Amino acid sequence: MTGSRHGSLSLEEIEGDRLPDPPAGATRLTATVHAVRRRPVSALGPEDLRLLIRQNIGLPHLLPRAVDVLRADPLAEGDLYEGDLLSTVLTRDRAAWAGAPQAARALRLFVAAMDDVPPDLQGEVDDFLALSARLARL
């Protein structure tokens, strides 16, 4: 699976939704989201993906890319802690995964085969596997 068939395009280009520049005095989060949405999806690293996915932005396009990143490094780390991207991806809701069914299947297979899941992520892995099993029956 490649993260997106639009890998060289930015999220703004893919979605056809160019946001205006953030207003003066915008929060750091708002300014960062605006900037990251303008980068090619294929160039987004773990922190960029974690940030946007945590905000539920561009999920159908970003979840597949995140799964690709996690396959290469299951505990890929953004700016918070080892495994923060995996945690963020695992905790998206049913609607997010319904919009990215191939990524959901790939992640389900991937995490089910993980050997050394950190204890603080095990509950999230278990919850995701239960959710993805329910989605697979639909």
Q: Residue 73 to residues 85, 87, 94: CA-CA distances in angstroms?
A: 10, 13, 24
Q: Enter the pTM of the model.
A: 0.87
pLDDT at 6: 63
Hey, where are the domains in the chain? 11-137
pLDDT digits (tens, 9 = 90+) for 8-64: 999 999 988 887 788 888 899 999 999 999 999 999 999 999 999 999 999 999 999
Alpha-helical runs (H) found in 16-75: 28-36, 46-54, 59-72
pLDDT at 3: 46
Judged against a pLDDT cut of 80, whether residue 120 lies above it is answered with yes
